[in-house]
């Protein structure tokens, strides 16, 4: 049994939504000079013959913008845990160009890793047309980001996750973020008796992200983990419940109460900060300290107008300290990527 933190977390990652509502000072705006630097880096990349992903930071130099990105990285890793960057003129670029720009910006923030079995370094968050019944694609081993369903607050299996909005939906698809450390403090204040099962963790249904197409995590993954003075979080209610059903027939009553209470807190209005996604917006989150969600959406009928976000999974240059059993979330070792099986 790992140590349970019994005192409130007191660091910059702890915040409530009112701190940012009605104030856009936390939004980083790309300037005209930044966009010119991006265009110059893109032209240089074209001349090198490199593909739209997989190249290094030196292949995409950003002189003055690099300073701004370093500031955003500081906020991600030691500050509030999320960033929204706005002002990239997405309509000026084709999809390959946008992919290269996004990957290039990402190289200044972390190391890109595989995020699905097909080996994608830049994923397409859009309706892939997968067929399933009801509103729970996990039942059919389908990852929710490939559908139009709402995705409740959760974390991903990487240090930093980024989304670039190429096209918003016809309606819906709004994003929201929650501080998991603020949520933890609410547990301490209201239901500390529910922390133990969350620290013990759960066998997660990896929904196609394991070394095999259908696989559970090889060991229980803690929801909360306190290690070397830092608290981290890994939560996905659907993966917890499906994993428990396959492993042991379901959660115990105490485990279910803890998982449900986490969900209840994560959607509470005072903790949840909504974000509008405009074309060209880039949202980056620290998965260890920040939960994210989206509402369901309705798409345009025309394929070239449908909602499309580009996704990056990044490993941090200076990762948050993590216990070994917390760091290995995909059966591929500490901070390991999704196994490519294509």
49: left (phi over 0), alpha (psi -120 to 50) or beta: left
Question: Exposed/middle/buried for 277, CB within 10 Å: 0-12, 13-18, 19+?
Answer: buried
Residues 316-330, mean pLDDT to the nearest whole number:
97
Q: Is the pLDDT of residue 342 over 80?
A: no
Q: What is the pLDDT of residue 93?
A: 97
- Give the residue from 119, 125, 108, 2 showing the smallest Cα distance to 63: 108
Is domain 17-327 classified as CATH 3.30.2010.10? no
Characterize 70-102 residue by residue with b for buried, 16 or more Cβ atoms within 10 angstroms of its Cβ, and e for exposed. Answer: eebbebbbebbbbbbbbbbebeebeeebbbbbb
Q: What is the per-residue pLDDT across 174-205, written as a single tens digit (0 to 9) for each?
A: 999 999 999 999 999 999 999 999 999 999 99
Stretch among 57-61, 136-140, 232-236, 332-336 having the lowest mean pLDDT: 136-140
- CB count within 10 Å of CB 247 equals 16
What percent of the chain lies above the pLDDT cut of 70?
100
pLDDT tens-digit map of 265-306: 999 999 999 998 999 999 999 999 999 999 998 998 898 899
Q: So what's the pLDDT on residue 172?
A: 85
Helix (H, G, I), strand (E, B) or coil at 183: helix
What SS3 state is found at 61?
A: coil
Q: Does the structure show a pLDDT above 70 at 103?
A: yes
Q: What is the mean pLDDT of the chain?
A: 95
Q: How many whole angstroms from its chain centre is CA 205? A: 17
pLDDT at 1 over 70: no
Give the three-class secondary structure for 217.
coil
| Percent of the chain residues topping a pLDDT of 90 | 85
Dig out the tokens for 163 from the structure: 């989304």
Both tokens of 191, joined, read 């239901």
Give the residue extent of every domain in the chain. 17-327
Taking every pair of Cα atoms in the chain, the longest distance, rounded to a whole number of angstroms, is 60
**What's the predicted TM-score (pTM) here?**
0.94
């Amino acid at each position: 049994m790992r140590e349970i933190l019994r005192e409130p977390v007191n660091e910059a990652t702890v915040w409530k939504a009112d701190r940012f509502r009605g104030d856009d000072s936390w939004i980083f705006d790309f300037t005209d000079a930044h966009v010119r630097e991006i265009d110059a880096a893109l032209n240089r990349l074209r001349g090198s013959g490199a593909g739209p992903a997989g190249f290094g930071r030196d292949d995409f130099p950003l002189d003055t913008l690099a300073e701004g990105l370093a500031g955003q990285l500081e906020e991600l890793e030691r500050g509030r845990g999320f960033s929204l960057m706005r002002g990239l003129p997405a309509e000026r670029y084709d999809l390959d160009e946008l992919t290269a720009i996004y990957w290039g910006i990402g190289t200044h923030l972390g190391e890109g890793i595989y995020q699905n079995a097909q080996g994608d370094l830049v994923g397409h968050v859009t309706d892939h047309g997968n067929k399933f019944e009801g509103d729970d694609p996990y039942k059919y081993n389908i990852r929710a980001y490939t559908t139009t369903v709402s995705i409740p607050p959760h974390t991903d299996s990487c240090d930093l996750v980024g989304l670039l909005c190429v096209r918003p939906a016809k309606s819906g698809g709004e994003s929201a973020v929650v501080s998991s450390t603020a949520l933890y403090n609410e547990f301490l204040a209201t239901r500390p008796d529910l922390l133990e099962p969350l620290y013990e963790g759960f066998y997660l249904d990896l929904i196609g992200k394991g070394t095999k197409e259908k696989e559970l995590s090889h060991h229980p993954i803690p929801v909360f983990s306190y290690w070397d003075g830092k608290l981290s979080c890994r939560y996905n209610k659907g993966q917890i419940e499906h994993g428990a059903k396959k492993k042991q027939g379901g959660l115990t009553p105490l485990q279910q109460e803890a998982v449900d209470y986490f969900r209840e807190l994560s959607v509470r209005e005072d903790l949840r900060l909504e974000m509008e996604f405009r074309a060209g917006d880039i949202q980056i989150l620290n998965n260890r300290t920040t939960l994210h969600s989206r509402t369901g959406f309705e798409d345009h009928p025309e394929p070239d107008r449908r909602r499309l976000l580009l996704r990056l999974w990044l490993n941090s240059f200076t990762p948050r300290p993590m216990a070994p059993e917390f760091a290995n979330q995909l059966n591929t070792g500490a901070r390991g990527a999704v196994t490519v099986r294509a």
